[in-house]
Structures are given as C-alpha cells and as structure tokens.
Chains A and B, each alone.
Chain A
Amino acid sequence: MKMHPRYYPAILIAAYVIFLLFGILLGFGPERGGGHGQSMLMQLAFVTPETLA
C-alpha cells in the first residue's frame, strides 16, 4: 500500500514515543536503576508450571 511521505516523520516519532513508553511501562524507568537489579533470566528461572498455575 502506498503512503504519502508527509506521514513518514510522524510515524517515526510516534513509533519512538510509543515504544519508549512501552519500555518504561515494562519497568525500565530511570528511578529503578542504579546499577543493581534482578536478572531477567533469574526471574524466568522462578517461573515453573506450579507458579504459573
């Protein structure tokens, strides 16, 4: 499907902002940093069929 070039910059900025907010909503915000955190792999390690149930 063809797209008018005028929408291109808006698409880029919208994609950037939406995905940035998505990242922050996932918990990757500045206030929770500081050099230490729990590994995502470590968190996955606790996910067992029992915990999911």
Chain B
Amino acid sequence: MNAATGKKPFSLAKSRRTIQWLVVIGTFVLGLRHIMPGEASRGGSFDSFCAFGGIETLLPYLFTGHLLKSTNLLNFSVLIATLGVSLVAGRAFCGWLCGLGAIQDFVAEWTRKLLGEKRHVRGKRGRTILPMRLPAALDRPLRYAKYLVLAAILIASLYMAFPPLREFCPVRAVFGLKMTGLLWLTLAVFLAGSVLIERFWCKYLCPLGAALAIFNKISPVRLAVDGDRCNQCGRCDIECSMDIADVPHHLDHPECVRCMECLNTCARDGSLTLQIGYKENRI
C-alpha cells in the first residue's frame, strides 16, 4: 500500500493471474456450451474457437477451398487475433491469453504448494523437487520437438478430413468436456507433464508456440535491460517458467512467453524495462 496515495501498487503478476483465470473460465464456458443440446444451431463447434485450428485448416482451405471438418471460418479470425497479439508483443499470447498456459502455471503453483512450499519468495529457488528442470543436454534437443510437431501437422492437414491434432488436442482434453479414450490419455499426460516440468507442453510440444516463436524477434513491445544497472543476480533466471538461461542476454529468445515474471522479480529499479520500438534492447 502506498502511504501517500492510499492505493495498492500496480502488480503485473496479479493482472496476469486475473486474465489467466478469466481465460480459463471463458474456455470452460465454451466447452460447456459445446456439450449443451442444440450445439449445431449456435454456429460452430468447440474447435472453431481454436487459433491452432486456423493453422490446421489453412493449407486445405488455400489449396482445395474446403475447411477441415469441425473447423470453421471463425478459426481464421481467432488465428488472426493470435497473430496480431504476437505481432505487437511476441509470444505474449502464450504467457497471458492461452488457456493451456494458464492451466500449466496453476498446476505448477499447486504442485509447489502440495509439496510444502508455504509461500513463494520471488527470485529465490524453491525447495520442492517438483516441478523440475531437465538437464540442458536433454532439454535443448527436446525443445525442437514442437517444430517437428508443427511441420508434421501442416503436412498431415493436407491429407486428413479432421484437424490432425484433434484426437490428441490438450485443449479439448482439458476444456472440451466431450471425452474419448485418447483425450483421457492426453489429459493424463498433459497433467503429469505439467506436474513434473513447468510449462511442459509449451516447452516441448506446442505447435502454436512453435509458429509464434519468430514473433519474439520482430515485435515492437519488448523488454530492455540497462547493462549498467543489471548486476546479473540471476533472480529473473530463477523465476522464468520457460527456463531460459541468462535472461538479460536473451530477452528476444524464441522460447520466451513474455509473461513478464522477470520484470516483476527484478529488484533493481530501471534495470529491466518495457519498451516500444525497435531500438537496441541492451542499453
């Protein structure tokens, strides 16, 4: 509480958490709407609200003029919105607006609490063993898996009637409420992965994240570090949910989901800042 104004200071972390809860609740409502009677009359299945559905159905639409079954033209609007956010602020969609990203953040937080972490101290490594970080030798090659998943899906989309990821889609597994055996399996793997490794899906498998990674290099809203003020304390590295090493030197890293936890955690005023424009982000 600011004594002079009587107002609480602005918290980016709280804003993000609020937005994430709203996204999760909103997606559950979409899932609920999907299982209610009369779905067909409401224009579009659950899949038609998915940004990645737009990518899955894009090539078939361009080459044949037909959308994949269960997708809809609305998928393109959702994809355009996701690309628009990415064009402005990099992979901020993943860090702020993705329902799966939110669920993974919640699961990681709940896991720490269940394993005995009473209060999270920013910039301090937790004592709990989970979620863990994979060794770099294993982590680095696995990060490329999502690009392979994306390429495989794009190729497969040309030969399939339904979106290729549909039967294994974690969004349908978590929010869809119309479960199949494969979706139960997907849900189990997704939750177990999220308990074991923070943002497991984003790091290793998410094809949408792979498609958005390039935007971190070109978006005008970005982080900047003041080299004179940053003392390389490593607090931002500890707080990074994507486990990016040496954050101040990798502010445009393709893995960064722009969650701004590094900015929240930085203890040196003015060391990390948000900037608009294409000026060198290492001052």
Which residues does A use to contact B, with CB under 8 Å?
A: 1-6, 8-9, 11-13, 15-20, 22-24, 26-42
Interface size class of B (residues with CB under 8 A): 35 or more
A-B contact count (CB 8 A): 135
Taking a contact as CB atoms under 8 Å apart, the answer to whether A33 and B67 are in contact is yes
Report A33 CB to chain B, min CB distance, Å. Answer: 3
Q: Which residues of B contact A3 (CB under 8 A)?
A: 221, 273-276
| B84 contacts chain A at the CB level, 8 A cutoff | yes
Option from A12, A20, A40 in Cβ contact (under 8 Å) with B62: A40
Question: Is B103 an interface position by the 8 A CB rule?
Answer: no
Given contacts A15-B88, A33-B48, 8 further A-B pairs with CB under 8 A are A1-B276, A2-B275, A5-B260, A6-B12, A16-B84, A19-B82, A34-B72, A35-B67
Evaluate contact between B74 and A36: CB separation under 8 angstroms: no
The listed residue (A8, A24, A37, A38) touching B77 by CB distance below 8 A is A24
| Nearest CB of chain B from residue A35's CB, rounded to whole Å | 5
- Chain A to chain B: the 9 pairs with minimum beta-carbon distance, closest first: A19-B84, A23-B77, A39-B65, A33-B72, A23-B80, A20-B81, A28-B76, A30-B43, A33-B73
**CB < 8 Å neighbour of A11 from B73, B77, B88, B275:** B88
Q: Encode B49-81 as 1/0 by CB contact (under 8 A) with A.
A: 000000000000111111111011111111111
| Distance in angstroms between the alpha carbons of A24 and B81 in the assembled complex | 10
Residue ID in chain B nearest A13 by CB atoms = B19
Write out, one digit per residue, whether chain B residues 86-106 have a CB within 8 A of any chain A CB (1) or not (0): 011100110011000000000
Say whether A5 contacts B67, CB under 8 Å: no
- Tell whether B85 is near chain A: CB-to-CB under 8 Å: yes
Assembled-state Cα–Cα distance A36/B60 (Å): 11
A32→B67 CA distance, assembly (Å): 12
- CB-contacts of B161-185 with A (<8 A): none
**How many angstroms from the CA of A43 to the CA of B241 in the assembled complex?**
44
Q: For the complex, what is the distance from the CA of A34 to the CA of B43, rounded to whole Å?
A: 8
User: If A5-B12, A8-B274, A16-B84 touch, does A28 touch B73 (CB 8 Å cutoff)?
Assistant: yes
